[in-house]
Amino acid sequence: MLPGSAPAAGGTGMFVPAATAGTVLCCMCGVSMQPNPANMCARCLRARVDITEGVPRHAAVVYCPDCSSYLQPPRSWLRATPESPELMQILLRRINRPLARLRVSLSGAEFVFSEPHSKRLRLKLRLRREVLHGIVLEQTHPVEFVVHDRLCDSCSRAQANPDQWVAVVQLRQHVPHRRTFLYLEQLLLKHGQASLAIRVAAAPSGLDFFFGSRSHAARLVDFLATVAPIQTSTAKQLVSHDTKSSVYNYKYTFSVEICPICREDLIALSRQASRDMGGLGPLVLCVKVTNAIALLDPLTLRVHHLEEKKYRVYNFKAALTSKQLVEYIVLDIEQESPEISIDGSRYQLAYAQVARVSDFGKNDTIFTVRTHLGHLLNPGDHALGYDLYGANLNDDDMDTAMTRYSLPEVVLVKKSYEKRPRTRRWKLKRLPVEEDAANKAKGEEEKRLDEYEAFLRDLELDPEMRFKMDLYKNEDYRSEMASTVGDDIPTVPIEELIEDLTLGDDEDDDGEEAV
């Protein structure tokens, strides 16, 4: 076979010449090129045809610096973060009409860096248009948007008079602690339900959320109904009335009361309630609170989910709360049944011999109790429980149960770990709550710090609770601090942590407007 010749086709011995693409010379510059209807190369086409002619290179966008929202004409305000897809969509809508009029299609767009203080947003567009007998030409086109600061309607009303709210959600729970509000605070932050609130104020036994729209307040109430057992009542007050146009302005109040039963509370059921729940109890522990209450019988491992409407029928209270937990030491333990899983939580019945830590060196009082924590406790461990042997109870259902049944002297609730002051590798975000320092009681700040620390310890023990929240990496944490933490103390895996976005001090004022 000769060099450069094609092989025989199908072994027939026939010579088939190699196919070559035909080329022509550009009619303008004479460069060899692939043929096209215009008979011009791409460089000559771009030099003589500008597909971006008539496409604006400058535009304006209105930005509210208080709530980080952009105006979508005529009156809509959309919240968007720098270089986000939402911001890209807002900017492209500003030039969408000229592109459609010029029959130019958009094939791509990307942000171009601009200084935060420049009040400029820059985009680089890739435009495509058909020119000269069906030839499609693509070209880049820069567009610069000038950012004009202007307060939106709700922010302008809030700055003119902070009390110009339209609706308020009064969230209350009549219990001696704030653990429930710490839990709900993290849920609100994760789902962004309180982001539209004008302000959040602390109140006795709860929080007040002020909104500029009734629909925003109603949406918060609907969200609370999905995460907590609540009872809601509404009211409205007439503010002004225009007799000519029949326009009425009201202020709306949503009163939301959370069920006073909290996690780890000990409850004594009445005879009627125990009978309706299939003979549950009479002593039960609250192990989970969502839009229903999960009650566990620690002696039989039966669990009953009680909805809020059904709870209002019995309306029982907690006989003992987590504030009355007593620390015990486990002397011996004997498993009674294999470990089981109920609603994602593990339990195991066991008999344990325990003694109060406060009794060491004073007496030899030992209690033999039946517990559901057999899979966690070992001899020498510490546990927290309710002391029914020496407790001063003020509950009618508990008094009735003690006379009719043989109740245990101790009800163990959870395993206790050594408390050490330490810096955690994770942290939580908090809502900006306005506090009234003048009406704050003495020692209230120390009490809230202790409750927050107890809440953080509960998060370390409960992976299911952590799954519902956003935990962020603590930049102040140092790896050498890990040596001060005991090996048996539960910690949060680093895989569950989220990188926190932090801006420098010099960018705090302009960072929200930058791209």
Range of the domain at 58: 24-153
Cis peptide before 74 (omega within 30 of 0): yes
The verdict on residue 350 lying in a domain is yes
Segments in 228-380 forming alpha helices (H): 271-276, 308-314
- Burial of 64 by CB count in 10 Å (0-12 exposed, 13-18 middle, 19+ buried)? buried
Check whether residue 269 and residue 132 sit in a common domain.
no
> Among candidates 173, 147, 292, which has minimal Cα distance to 227?
292
- Is 145 within a domain? yes
Residues constituting the chain: 515
Position 467 in a domain: no
pTM across the whole model: 0.68
Q: Look-up: residue for tokens 């304006």?
A: 60
> 121, 136, 153: which is the final residue of a domain?
153
DSSP secondary structure, 144-194, as one string:
EEEEEE---HHHHHHHH-TT--SEEEEEE--SSS-HHHHHHHHHHHHHTTT
User: Is 149 domain-assigned?
Assistant: yes
Tally the domains of the chain: 2
- Based on the domain organization, do 135 and 277 belong to the same domain? no
Tokens 């010099």 sit at which residue?
Answer: 506
DSSP letter (8 states) at residue 504: -
Element (H, E) at 86: helix 85-101
Q: Other CB atoms closer than 10 Å to residue 159's CB: what's the count?
A: 11
Q: Name the domain boundary from 384, 416, 448.
A: 416
The reply to whether 13 falls in a domain is no
Residue closest to 323 by CA, chosen among 148, 186, 220, 450: 450
Among candidate residues 138, 153, 168, the one where a domain is terminated: 153
- Using an 8 Å Cβ cutoff, are 349 and 370 in contact? yes
Q: How far apart are CA 111 and CA 457, in angstroms?
A: 43
Q: Is 232 helix (H, G, I), strand (E, B) or coil?
A: strand
Answer yes or no: do 270 and 148 share one domain.
Answer: no
Sheet holding 230-242, edge to edge: 230-242, 247-258, 167-172, 206-211, 197-203, 433-434
What is the spatial distance between Cα 214 and Cα 193, in angstroms, rounded to a whole number? Answer: 14
For 335, the 3-state DSSP assignment is strand
Same domain, 280 and 411: yes
Residue 43 lies in a domain: yes
372-395 in b/e form (b: 16+ CB < 10 A) is bbbebbeeebebebbbbeeeebeb
Nearest to 453 by CA among 103, 116, 178, 241: 178
Are 470 and 429 within 8 A, CB to CB? yes
Token pair, residue 421, equals 């002051």
- How do the pLDDT tens digits run along the chain, 515 residues long? 455 555 555 556 677 777 676 788 888 787 888 887 777 887 787 777 778 888 889 999 999 988 889 998 888 888 888 888 889 999 998 888 888 888 888 888 999 998 878 899 999 999 888 776 667 778 889 999 999 999 888 778 767 665 678 899 999 999 888 889 999 999 999 998 888 888 899 988 899 999 988 999 999 999 999 999 999 999 999 988 888 888 888 999 999 999 999 999 999 998 899 889 888 878 999 999 998 999 999 989 999 999 988 998 988 888 888 888 999 999 999 998 898 988 888 899 999 999 999 888 788 889 999 999 999 899 999 999 999 887 777 777 787 887 788 888 899 999 988 776 567 888 888 898 888 766 667 778 888 888 888 888 888 888 888 888 888 888 776 654 554 555 566 777 777 777 765 434 444 444 333 32
Helix (H) or strand (E) holding 48: helix 42-48
Tell whether 204 is covered by a domain.
Answer: no
Q: Which two tokens stand for residue 18?
A: 């190699």
Residue type, 244: K
Half-sphere exposure of residue 471: CA atoms within 13 angstroms, side-chain side: 20
